[in-house]
């Protein structure tokens, strides 16, 4: 069965960096677009970034553009999100998500990132 | 890209039907039949309940249905059950530099 397992979250000071990873299994990772989506406390879902199946076409939300970098290792089934220059407003649960063309068909369990001094 | 507009909350009694609206623009909901709906219980990851406006994934109850008219998509839940109490999010493809956009979420309370 499809599994998406996030890791790398935690507490970081403003201006700091963190790298999230998502280990994917149960499907042919290299065939699918993948995304990072977050939910801040008391807020709704926000699309953070997504990557096409080869990592060639990549999009970022305006709120993270220039600070976050998405990447993938298709050989290892690994999706990553490098987060730099973190701000308090980046505090959220981050979800790794698999896209089925027009919608998200699988989500990871989510991992908490807290940006605070 | 602006978020899609959903009511902050809706409520209904067991057995009743409710509808949640999701209003976008001609750049997203109005232009594409790639509207999906997600149900999220507290502390859990979201689950898709409707995709491509009207389609239900295997295993999702037929009490959930979706529709679209112009720039507004809707989710209807019939025969409300206690387990339906959750947050519901719509999402639409929007093309351009930020191709996907979520609604702000709607908290459903089953009275």
Contact list in B for residue A60 (CB cut-off 8 A) is: 98
- pLDDT, one tens digit for every residue, chain A (117 residues): 999 999 999 999 999 999 999 999 999 999 999 999 999 998 999 999 999 999 998 999 999 999 999 999 999 999 999 999 999 999 999 999 999 988 999 999 999 999 999
User: Do A107 and B52 count as a contact with CB atoms less than 8 A apart?
Assistant: no
Q: Which of B4, B28, B45, B49 to mutate to test binding with chain A, by most A CBs within 10 Å of its CB?
A: B45
Q: Is the pLDDT of residue B1 over 60?
A: no
Q: What angle do CA A5, A43, B60 make, to 5 degrees?
A: 60
Q: What is the pLDDT of residues B47-77, one digit of tens each?
A: 999 999 999 999 999 999 999 999 999 999 9
Chain centre distance of CA B1: 18
Strands (E), chain A: 3-7, 10-12, 18-25, 34-39, 45-51, 58-60, 68-73, 78-83, 92-99, 104-107, 111-115
Q: Tell me the mean pLDDT in the region B102-109.
A: 96
Closest Cα in chain A, distance from residue B77 (Å): 20
Q: Hey, what are A116's tokens?
A: 């605070």
Band (B6; pLDDT cuts 50, 70, 90): very high
**A107 vs B: CB within 8 A:** yes
Cα gap B71→A80, rounded to integer Å? 34
Query: B71 by DSSP, 3-state: which?
Result: coil
Query: A24 by DSSP, 3-state: which?
Result: strand
**B52 vs A: CB within 8 A:** yes
Pairing of strands A45-51, A18-25: unpaired
Q: Considering chain B, what is the average pLDDT of its residues?
A: 94
Closest Cα in chain B, distance from residue A36 (Å): 12
pLDDT at A45: 93
Cα gap B41→B44, rounded to integer Å? 5
Closest Cα in chain B, distance from residue A74 (Å): 23
């Amino acid at each position: 069965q499809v599994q998406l397992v996030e890791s790398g979250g935690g507490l970081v000071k403003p201006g700091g960096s963190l790298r999230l990873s998502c280990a994917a299994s149960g499907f042919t990772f290299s065939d699918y677009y993948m995304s990072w989506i977050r939910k801040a406390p008391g807020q709704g879902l926000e699309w953070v970034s997504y990557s096409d199946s080869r990592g060639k076409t990549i999009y970022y939300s305006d709120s993270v553009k220039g600070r976050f970098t998405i990447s993938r290792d298709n050989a290892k089934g690994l999706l990553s999100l490098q987060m730099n220059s973190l701000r308090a407003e980046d505090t959220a649960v981050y979800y790794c998500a698999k896209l089925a063309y027009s919608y998200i068909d699988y989500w990871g369990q989510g991992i908490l990132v807290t940006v605070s001094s | 890209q602006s978020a899609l507009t959903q009511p902050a909350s809706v409520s209904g009694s067991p057995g009743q039907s409710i509808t949640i609206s999701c209003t976008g623009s001609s750049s997203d909901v109005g232009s594409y039949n790639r509207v999906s709906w997600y149900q999220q219980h507290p502390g859990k990851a979201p689950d898709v309940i409707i995709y491509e406006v009207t389609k239900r994934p295997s295993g999702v109850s037929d009490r959930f249905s979706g529709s679209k008219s112009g720039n507004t998509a809707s989710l209807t839940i019939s025969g409300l059950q206690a387990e339906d109490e959750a947050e519901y999010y719509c999402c639409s493809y929007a093309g351009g530099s930020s191709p996907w956009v979520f609604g702000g979420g709607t908290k459903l309370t089953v009275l």
